[in-house]
Amino acid sequence: MNRVNAKEICAHNGVVIGKNFNMATRNKATHTYWANPSIACLQQDWWLLLHDDRKNELHVFMIPSNSISTSAVKIRSDVSKPNHIRIEIRYDDNSFEDTKSKIEFLPWHIKTLRLSYAEMLNEIVAEETKEYKNDYKTAKMLSNKDLESKVTEKYSINKDKKTTRQSTYIRNAYISEYAKRLADGVCQLCGNPAPFNNADNEPYLEIHHIEWLSRGGLDIIDNVTALCPNCHRKMHILDNKDDIDYLIEIPKKLCN
């Protein structure tokens, strides 16, 4: 995640970040969030974002101008970064203490965001392997009856989580096709037709896992639904229980 993403995620969650902000990701060597803002940061309202990529959380702080004096912080000694300070906050430290200055950032903590938005992007862009593409071609040719037997046959498998820098989730093409046939070009949440057709001239809907893959949800018929992009985003941003209950209740059976 970069600074722009982080700022956007905050905005989506109702937290407006000012221009004067820094983001620190986990530094695996020091086991700290390592930030190197310029000294000038301290003289204005300053936002500090700490990105925890294990827990998928973003800790947001707003430090009002002149709350921290320059004499209290550790100034970097290297010439490449003059007039910069060095902040190292240990992970999982509830007081968010900077190990360099011993200043606790907890009093300035505004919010911790769950990165559902980032997760969503990650879940939408599920890995499309060669196998998936081939299966998908086959799936499209099958009769409803044959497709149904395919998805029940594969019922118990396919939670193959592949770890790259971020986690991506490989899916079963038959399950996707089945969910799309059930939806028949109509979003399962708002009931509106798909907003546009894809390059193959099919209604564009996205497969959503009611219990998210990233939360351990399974790639099985009972757990998938086809949504328009707006509703898909809504599911991940609001995570609204009524919507979840509604989607769970939709019958998952094709007419043969």
Positions 36 through 75 that interact with Zn ion (CB under 5 A): none
Quick note: the x/- pattern for Zn ion over 162-191, rule CB under 5 A, is: -------------------------x-xx-
Residue 79 burial (10 A CB sphere; 0-12, 13-18, 19+)? exposed
Nearer to Zn ion, 20 or 223 (CB): 223
Residues 235 and 108: their CA atoms lie apart, in Å, by 30
Q: CB nearer to Zn ion: give 40 or 125.
A: 125
Q: What is the DSSP letter of 75?
A: B
* # of chain residues touching Zn ion (CB under 5 A): 6
Which one of 44-52, 168-176, 205-213, 218-226 is the stretch in contact with Zn ion (CB under 5 A)? Answer: 205-213
Nearer CB in complex with Zn ion: 144/158:
158
Q: Which of residues 78-137 bind Zn ion (CB under 5 A)?
A: none
Q: Is the dihedral of CA 61, 67, 73, 78 positive or negative?
A: positive
The span from the CA of 232 to the CA of 225, in Å, is 10
Q: CB 53 → Zn ion: shortest distance, Å?
A: 20
Taking the CA of residue 205 as centre, how many other CA atoms within 13 Å lie in the half-sphere pointing to its CB?
Answer: 28
Instruction: Provide the minimum distance between the beta carbon of 235 and Zn ion in the complex, in angstroms, as a whole number.
Output: 6
Looking at the Cβ atoms of 8 and 243, the one nearer to Zn ion is 243
Q: Which is nearer to Zn ion, 154 or 234 (CB)?
A: 234
Q: Which of 59, 54, 44 is nearest to 6 (CA)?
A: 59
Stretch of 9-17, 160-168, 207-215, 237-245 contacting Zn ion, by CB under 5 A: 207-215
In the complex with Zn ion, the residue whose CB is nearer, 89 or 231, is 231
Query: Least distance to Zn ion from the beta carbon of 231, Å?
Result: 3
Query: Would you say 91 or 204 has its CB closer to Zn ion?
Result: 204
Of 16-24, 76-84, 147-155, 208-216, the segment contacting Zn ion by CB under 5 A is 208-216
Q: Is the backbone of residue 92 left (phi > 0), alpha (psi -120 to 50) or beta?
A: left
Residue type at 117 in one-letter notation: Y
Contacts of 57 (CB under 8 A, 6+ apart): 51, 112, 113, 114, 115
| 226: helix, strand or coil | strand
Q: Using an 8 Å Cβ cutoff, are 100 and 32 in contact?
A: no
Over the window 226 to 245, marking each residue x when it contacts Zn ion by CB under 5 A and - when it does not, the resulting string is --x--x--------------
φ, ψ for residue 120 (rounded to 5)? Answer: -60, -50
Rounded least distance, CB 57 to Zn ion, Å = 19
* Sites of contact with Zn ion (CB under 5 A): 187, 189-190, 208, 228, 231
